[in-house]
Amino acid sequence: MWEGMHTQLPGTGAREDEYQLLRSIGSGSFGQVFLVLHKEENREFVMKSIDLHSASDDGRQQMELEVQLLRTMQHPNIVAYRDSFIDRTGHLCILMEYCEHGDIFTYLQEVRRTNSAPEEGRLLEWFTHIVWALQSLHQQKILHRDLKTQNIFLTGNRQQNILAAKLGDFGIAKVLTSTADLAKTQIGTPFYMSPELINSHPYSYKSDVWGLGCVLYEVVNGHRVGMPRTKDIPIRNEYECSM
């Protein structure tokens, strides 16, 4: 069905038999991402499938940390963890809530393509949702470290114009031992990196806040910080945001 990809859920154990593969929705160096259906509940979930055989020791530790973090996160504006298991073929399967309206980056691209006008109130509401999610992480001494519009997902009723934003993708998140602790690994997406990250200096929660500001700039102006202006998104009650 998909060249070079699994055409069925890996393994034949009882846990994976609860789900039906619907389609592939992405892939990366970590593995593949599928949309699956829980047969008994008739509910869709996202499943990240990671080949543990090809993972390094550091990679395995990072995957274990991601699962541990996901299990502890319970917030209405954080993509919800469902389940995880290692199947008989050695794939780690992580199941998460499915946000059916994609990510904000794709939403902004659609707005630009159709020349429609997102309401200022809606964008600010989504931004508030992510502030709440980030506050919850930081209260648990967790750095996200990859805050960007591709990691903010939309769910709800689009016809009734009721959509909520949820923060996801905690693959490179880090837990600090105290509120005064600092991280040192240079990691993340360049467009959203704080100055201390770019300069390989120790960093903490303020680095996530910098990324949050870059997200706000992007949703308001229609392009990333440092990108040339092509066609800005017309926003109702338009205002300027500069950095």
Distance (Å, whole) CA 217 – CA 219: 6
pLDDT above 70: percentage of residues in the chain: 78
- At residue 239, does pLDDT exceed 50? no
Element (H, E) at 85: strand 81-86
Over residues 51-74, the mean pLDDT reads 80
pLDDT digits (tens, 9 = 90+) for 80-119: 999 998 887 888 899 999 999 999 999 888 888 888 767 8
Q: In whole numbers, what is the pLDDT of the chain averaged over residues?
A: 79
pLDDT digits (tens, 9 = 90+) for 108-151: 888 888 887 678 888 889 999 999 999 999 998 888 888 999 99
Contact 90, 16 (CB under 8 A): no
Is 39 annotated for ligand binding?
Answer: no
- At residue 3, does pLDDT exceed 80? no
Active site residue 146: yes
pLDDT digits (tens, 9 = 90+) for 189-199: 777 877 777 77
Degrees to nearest 5, angle at CA 33 with 151 and 122:
30
Judged by average pLDDT, the poorest of 1-15, 47-61, 163-177 is 1-15
All domains in the chain, ordered by first residue: 14-97 (3.30.200.20), 104-221 (1.10.510.10)
**Which one of the listed residues 83, 87, 146, 181 is annotated catalytic?**
146
